[in-house]
């Protein structure tokens, strides 16, 4: 390695173009000196590897929750020219459109505490979770195509939620251009029984309360107030999206040879964005993203039903409206200004959140004066955050920011460290009720397995690529 890392300022670390032979641009990691101590060498190398890909525009970037992933780092952002650049499944990830949504309510912490245990049990019983879990929805031949074309719109049409929900989803809960014909029989088989399921790993439904407000005016626009009960839902496209990624990694592996693309890591398998292979992947990725939006929409509907029944409230009384829904693992064609020129680029966000600024045309009208809501879940023992996108993010990170706390320990390391411990009891000692499908899930997801989300959020806030609005503390958590 010819060149060393260089600290640009308190929140940015430069991976210079000479760090790795073949880099076409610099790498930039948003990390302060505290989080840099836990920065994996593999993550830095992956940022540099991405910078070698054809047609990359701007820096190869990583957010403060970065950790090593498949090909691209988790927490990575990279944009590519539509003519000279590529698209890479490793830049989206296996769980296509893994994302998070936040539901606000009119309830307060004192309203729910007397029934918190019953609430957690009801959510756990009613929302299928765990590895290979099967949902309450059975997709027929016609439904399975409609869900891939319509996303959350399909769910609302089936009675799972309200049309107003769609206005507060990224992309309206649906990406146009999906093509069900490009989906393998194996992906359909894996996905047909998993619609309306939480899944496993770091996916969750969490009942929270608003612990602190940092921006009262913005919180007012979002409908967020102190001591308010909120619900955060984190899941994605389940086995369906995983299989789509698996299928197209094989396709892209062959495309690398076909188009003579030289890679420092075969996990970066890609194809020119203008190629038939990329068009097929992009259409299948959109279908997977739509599957995920429908999934989160169905879980939202059942969550609301549980609240209405348990607290004997009408929908109007409960006020459980969707604040926003954001994707974490996705590629999108967007327009960005680069060196004073507006250009259309395919932006890969893997473990990253859009952070679009005020007045952006893709935002709901209500949020245009303040910017896009950014939802950052933490671990089940600490906190989550609501932030807003900024103009600085649009100028420096293609409108992107972090997506969570970021893993500190691998799942195997976490399981070893948790041996002999009762994680659920440790959570109860912190006044957080937890239900999970298996003991290992709780071990994998224990708080020590993650970076402190407050440190991560402080970096993006201090760097100006998103700004803090509110902090949410967990009360009850459903894990897969």
Residues 73 and 95: their CA atoms lie apart, in Å, by: 14
How far is 328 from 315, CA to CA, in rounded Å? 29
Question: SS in 3 state form for 184-224?
Answer: CHHHHHHHCCCCCCCCCCCCEEEEEEEEEECCHHHHHHHCC
Query: What is residue 72's predicted lDDT score, i.e. its pLDDT?
Result: 98
Q: For 17-43, what is each residue's pLDDT tens digit?
A: 999 999 999 999 999 999 999 999 999
Q: How confident is the model at residue 2 (pLDDT cuts 50, 70, 90)?
A: low
Confidence (pLDDT) at 276: 98
- Which residue would you say has higher pLDDT here, 132 or 121? 121
State the average pLDDT over residues 151-164. Answer: 95
Residue 1 — very low, low, confident or very high, per pLDDT cuts 50/70/90? very low
Tell me which residues are annotated as active site: 403
Cα torsion angle, 441, 447, 449, 454, sign? positive
Give pLDDT tens digits for 297-348: 999 999 999 999 999 999 999 999 999 999 999 999 999 999 999 999 999 9
Full-model pTM:
0.95
Nearest CA to 329 among 367, 297, 285, 364? 285
Pick the closest to residue 294 from 181, 179, 187, 139 (CA basis): 139
Q: Per the structure block, which two tokens stand in for 75?
A: 């927490």
pLDDT-derived band at 217 (thresholds 50, 70, 90) equals very high
Half-sphere exposure of 59 (CA within 13 A, CB side): 21
Cβ proximity of 51 and 27 under 8 Å: yes
- Per-residue tokens: 389: 């996108």
Strands 466-479 and 384-389: antiparallel
Are β-strands 27-30 and 56-67 bridged in parallel, bridged antiparallel, or unpaired?
parallel
pLDDT of 163 higher than 50: yes
Q: What is the pLDDT of residue 424?
A: 87
| Run of H or E including 370 | none
Is 227 in a helix, a strand, or coil?
Answer: coil
* Separation between Cα atoms, residue 313 and residue 403, nearest integer Å: 33
**Residue 131 above 70 pLDDT?**
no
465 beta partners? none
Burial class of residue 82 in the structure, from the number of CB atoms within 10 Å of its CB (0-12 exposed, 13-18 middle, 19+ buried): middle
Of residues 394 and 143, more confidence is placed in 394
* Closest to 196 (Cα-Cα) out of 76, 68, 291: 291
- 3-state SS, residue 445: coil
Helix (H) or strand (E) run with residue 359 in it: none
Tokens for 196? 């309306």
Q: Which CATH code for domain 6-479?
A: 3.90.1860.10
Assess contact for 209 and 233: CB atoms under 8 A.
no
pLDDT at 78: 98
pLDDT tens, position by position, 56-113: 999 999 999 999 999 999 999 999 999 999 999 999 999 999 999 999 999 999 999 9
Domain definitions of the chain by residue range: 6-479
**C-alpha separations of 297 from 159, 190, 230, 325 in Å:** 10, 19, 16, 10
pLDDT at 380: 86
Q: Over the stretch 359-377, which tens digit does the pLDDT of each residue have?
A: 999 999 999 999 999 999 9
233 in helix, strand or coil?
Answer: strand
* Percent of residues in the chain assigned helix, strand, coil, to nearest 5: 40, 25, 35
- Given a cut of 60, is residue 130 above it in pLDDT? no
Long-range contacts (CB closer than 8 Å, 24 or more residues apart) made by 335-341? 336/79, 336/394, 336/398, 336/399, 337/394, 337/395, 338/57, 338/58
């Amino acid at each position: 390695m010819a060149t060393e890392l260089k600290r640009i300022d308190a929140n940015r670390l430069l991976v210079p173009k000479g760090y790795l032979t073949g880099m076409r641009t610099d790498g930039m990691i948003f990390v302060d000196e505290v989080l840099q101590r836990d920065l994996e060498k593999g993550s830095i190398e992956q940022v540099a590897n991405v910078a070698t890909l054809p047609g990359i525009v701007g820096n190869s970037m990583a957010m403060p929750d970065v950790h090593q992933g498949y090909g691209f780092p988790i927490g990575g952002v990279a944009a590519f020219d539509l003519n000279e650049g590529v698209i890479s499944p490793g830049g989206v990830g296996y769980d296509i459109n893994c994302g998070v949504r936040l539901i606000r309510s009119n309830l307060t912490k004192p309203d729910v505490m007397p029934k918190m245990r019953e609430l957690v049990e009801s959510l756990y019983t009613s929302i299928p979770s765990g590895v290979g879990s099967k949902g309450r929805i059975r997709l027929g031949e016609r439904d399975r195509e409609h869900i891939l074309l319509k996303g959350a719109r399909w769910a609302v049409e089936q009675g799972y939620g309200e049309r107003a929900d769609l206005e507060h989803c990224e992309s309206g809960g649906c990406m146009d251009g999906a093509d069900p014909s490009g989906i393998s029989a194996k992906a359909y088989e894996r996905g047909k029984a998993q619609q309306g399921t939480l899944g496993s790993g770091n996916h969750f439904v969490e009942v929270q309360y608003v612990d602190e407000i940092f921006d009262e005016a913005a919180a007012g626009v979002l409908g967020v107030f102190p001591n308010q009960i909120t619900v955060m839902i984190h899941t994605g496209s389940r086995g369906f999206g995983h299989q789509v990624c698996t299928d197209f990694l094989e396709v892209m592996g062959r495309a690398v040879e076909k188009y003579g693309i030289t890679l420092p890591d075969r996990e970066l398998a890609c194809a020119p964005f203008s190629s038939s292979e990329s068009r097929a992947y992009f259409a299948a990725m959109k279908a997977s993203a739509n599957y995920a939006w429908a999934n989160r929409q169905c879980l939202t509907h059942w969550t609301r039903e549980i609240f209405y029944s348990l607290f004997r409230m009408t929908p109007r009384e409960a006020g459980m409206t969707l604040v926003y829904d954001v994707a974490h693992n996705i590629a999108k064609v967007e327009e960005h200004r680069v060196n004073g020129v507006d250009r259309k680029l395919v932006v890969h966000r893997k473990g990253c959140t859009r952070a679009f600024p005020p007045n952006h045309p893709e935002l709901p009208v209500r949020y245009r004066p303040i910017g896009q809501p950014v939802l950052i879940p933490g671990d089940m023992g600490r906190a989550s955050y609501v932030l807003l996108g900024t103009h600085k993010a649009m100028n420096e990170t293609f409108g992107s920011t972090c997506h969570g706390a970021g893993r500190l320990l691998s799942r195997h390391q976490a399981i070893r460290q948790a041996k002999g411990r009762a994680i659920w009891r440790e959570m109860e000692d912190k006044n957080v009720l937890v239900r999970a499908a298996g003991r290992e899930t709780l071990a994998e997801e224990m708080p020590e397995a993650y970076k402190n989300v407050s440190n991560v959020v402080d970096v993006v806030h201090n760097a100006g690529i998103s700004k803090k609005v509110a902090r949410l503390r967990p009360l009850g958590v459903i894990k897969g």
